[in-house]
Amino acid sequence: MSPSKPLLDVTGLQKSFGENTVLSSIDLRVNPGQVTALIGPSGSGKTTVLRCLNGLEQPDAGTVAFDGGPQVNFDSRTSRQQRESLRTRSAMVFQGYNLFPHMTVLQNVIEGPVQVQRRPKAEVIAEAEQLLARVGLAEKRDQYPHELSGGQQQRVGIVRALALRPSLLLFDEPTSALDPELVADVLTVIKELAEEGWTMVLVTHELTFAREVADQVVFMDGGVVVEQGPASEVLRAPREERTRRFVHRLLNPF
Amino acid sequence: MTIDWELAASSFWPMLEGAIKGTIPLTLASFSIGLAIALVVALMRISRNRVLAGVARAYVSVIRGTPLLVQLFVIFFGLPSIGVNIDPWPSAIIAFSLNVGGYAAEVIRAAILSVPKGQWEAGYTIGMSQTQTLRRIILPQAARVSVPPLSNTFISLVKDTSLASLILVTEMFRVAQQIAASSFEFMALYLQAAAMYWVICLLLSMVQVRLERRLDRYVAK
């Protein structure tokens, strides 16, 4: 464990949809520069954790704190402002990309920085062009999302998140909607970002990728964290029987 | 049957004047105000506030469930009996605007709901408020979906403005009626009116096609 202050500290996060308890009590610490992979069977609550961090869902209880920001306590009634202050610390990359279809690639990327963060447009465009070039999409800047392949759209989705300059990147199964031959392009970009020192939390079913890139792996099942620890331990030598079965099934599907 | 072609020719200009000074401004004013009403009503219906949603639903139900002519007569002939006197022109604009508001509200509501939920979330994740997301992300996409049905509403309105002749608004059809009444050439004048409405609507359909094409540029074919 790094002795530095965690970038993100989540305690006792709870969320139910009606009768259905999705998160029982989730604790999560993410250190700066660390890559955390959330793994687990579908319905285990991984995506809900991300959505709570990004303010897309309102947790029923628990606390979320970013380094340098206030601890937002969801046990009491949180104000909208507090929730929105959380959202500005992270940016989400969606499974289904969710690019804005009526905007070009460049417009998609600069929309947040220009319209929300009110940064100077020329500066934002220059930065956006650099980011697009980095993911190999410089020449696509004036095209519309429907003119791109899924892998290209997802790379735009990543650039749109980066352009917001968040402290934390959230990836919600970023390659699950992609054709198999396009997965590698997107994973390569994510890996490069990890090597550059971006802090990220990643919901993924790509265990081989998680093993290679993640510092910390969190295995969730039924709304609780079953096991968490360094990737090498959780994925190679899981302590818990449930983790062992899940990892085995994913790595040996037949 | 004979048609007095000379009369038809000589009445073309007065009727065109009726279209330019009556039909067209009446349509444009009512449609603009009606769209503004429709957007508000659509947002009320979508909102989680039950009172607002209920009021909006009742409004749409009344407008769609009663004849436009009756709405027009209630405003122009009915309201004076409770002391509210409104001139023909404003009466017509009020009636047509309220009518467009009711029909277009349903179109706009459906168009907003047709935009995937992920688009709202993408707006939120780049830091936008609900209003910002609605304005910059959702409405532009809803607008594209709304163009064909709203064009129908608009074209219906062009023709419906002829009802204003019944509350003495001098639009194209009232001009035709006046000439017909003095010359007894009903067939000539009414056919001519029909032809002129048809041409206007034809032109509007062409505008609709161009508008759709422009808005289609970002949609996969």
- Which residues in B lie closer than 8 A to residue A160 (C-beta atoms)? 126
What was the pLDDT predicted at A249?
A: 85
| pLDDT tens per residue across span A174-231 | 998 898 888 998 999 999 999 999 999 999 988 888 998 999 999 999 899 999 999 8
pTM assigned to the model? 0.88
Q: E strand or H helix at B167, and its extent?
A: none
What was the pLDDT predicted at B112?
A: 96
The band of A2, judged by pLDDT with boundaries at 50, 70 and 90, is: very low
A-B contacts (CB, under 8 Å)? 61
What was the pLDDT predicted at A3?
A: 56
What was the pLDDT predicted at A186?
A: 92
- Which residues in A lie closer than 8 A to residue B111 (C-beta atoms)? none
Q: Which residue has the higher pLDDT, A114 or A72?
A: A114
Which strand ranges, in their side-by-side order, compose the sheet holding A8-17? A20-30, A8-17, A61-66, A71-73
- Do B136 and A56 make contact, defined as CB atoms within 8 angstroms? no
Give me the residue from B127, B218, B220 closest to A112, CB to CB: B127
CB contact A126 to B (< 8 Å): no
Residue of B nearest to A157 (CA): B122
Q: Closest Cα partner for A44 from A250, A186, A200, A252?
A: A250
ipTM of the complex: 0.92
What was the pLDDT predicted at B77?
A: 95
What was the pLDDT predicted at B221?
A: 45
The residues in B 93-132 lying below 8 A from A, measured between CB atoms, are: 116, 118-119, 121-122, 124-129, 132
Residue of B nearest to A113 (CA): B126
- Do B141 and A96 make contact, defined as CB atoms within 8 angstroms? no
| pLDDT tens per residue across span B177-217 | 999 999 888 888 999 999 999 999 999 999 999 988 888 77
Who's near A252: CB < 8 A, 6+ residues apart? none
What was the pLDDT predicted at B100?
A: 97
| pLDDT tens per residue across span A159-178 | 999 999 999 999 999 998 89
DSSP chain A: --SSPPSEEEEEEEEEETTEEEEEEEEEEE-TT-EEEEE-STTSSHHHHHHHHTTSS--SEEEEEETTSPEEESSS---HHHHHHHHTTEEEE-TT----TTS-HHHHHHHIIIIIS---HHHHHHHHHHHHHHTT-GGGTTS-GGGS-HHHHHHHHHHHHHTT--SEEEEESTTTTS-HHHHHHHHHHHHHHHHHT--EEEE-S-HHHHHHH-SEEEEEETTEEEEEEEHIIIIIS-SSHHHHHHHHHHH---
| pLDDT tens per residue across span A33-87 | 999 999 998 888 999 999 999 989 889 999 999 988 888 888 777 777 777 778 8
pLDDT average per 10 residues of sequence, chain B (221 residues): 75 91 94 97 94 96 96 96 94 97 96 96 94 95 92 95 93 92 88 94 92 76 45
- Do A100 and B128 make contact, defined as CB atoms within 8 angstroms? no
Mean pLDDT of chain A: 91
DSSP 8-state secondary structure symbol assigned to residue B47: S
Q: What percent of chain A has pLDDT over 70?
A: 98
- Do B141 and A54 make contact, defined as CB atoms within 8 angstroms? no
Give me the residue from A84, A94, A102 closest to B122, CB to CB: A94
